[in-house]
Amino acid sequence: MQDADLLLSLAEIAGVFVGFGALISIRGGSTSEAYELTYVRGLVWVGILVVVAALAPVTISRYGISGHELWLLCSLIVLALFWVMVVVNNRMPEHAAAFAESTRVTIVRYVLPALLLWGVMTIALVLVVLGPFPDLESALYITAVVDILFQAAFFLLQLVYSQGRPTTA
């Protein structure tokens, strides 16, 4: 597989994000603020998704699956995992509490960039699934994986900016 080294490097980078999330979550045992908890969970699950997305084609290609079938299967796995986690995350009480006090600033700072990142990833993977650009499927898939890595970076940035927020009662 031509892109194996790149995908393995992306998985390594994502592992760093997962490690940061884990370290942040155990520091002093105090991630009780809804925003903080939401961002830590987001950072960890998106980081893990990058690891899965990056390792899936490397692993699946070992079974002799290649071309459109490889990218189709991997894209379906990533889309399914991503959207299942969105649903699970949105059902967490902390997630609802974190965004119950949403303001325009929160929407501009969090929601719009997240939707843009989710949109790019989803469009790239759906294009792979539908198959209109067979010569670009590898590039579209890698674009989606890099985009998910950007989502992990975005969660880490949001976590950093959430520090020092006034505590809620």
Contact (Cβ atoms closer than 8 angstroms) between residue 89 and residue 102 = no
Task: Compute the C-alpha angle 158/40/156, nearest 5°.
Answer: 35
pTM of the model: 0.81
For residue range 3-50, what is the model confidence (pLDDT) as tens digits?
Answer: 767 777 877 777 776 776 666 655 545 555 776 777 777 888 888 898
Q: For tokens 């299942």, name the residue.
A: 84
Domain residue ranges of the chain, discontinuous segments joined by +: 4-162
Tokens of 108: 């501009």
- SS3 for 169? coil
Task: For the chain, list residues with pLDDT below 70.
Answer: 1, 4, 17, 20-32, 35, 95-109, 162-169
- SS3 for 139? helix
Contact (Cβ atoms closer than 8 angstroms) between residue 148 and residue 81 = no
pLDDT at 159: 75
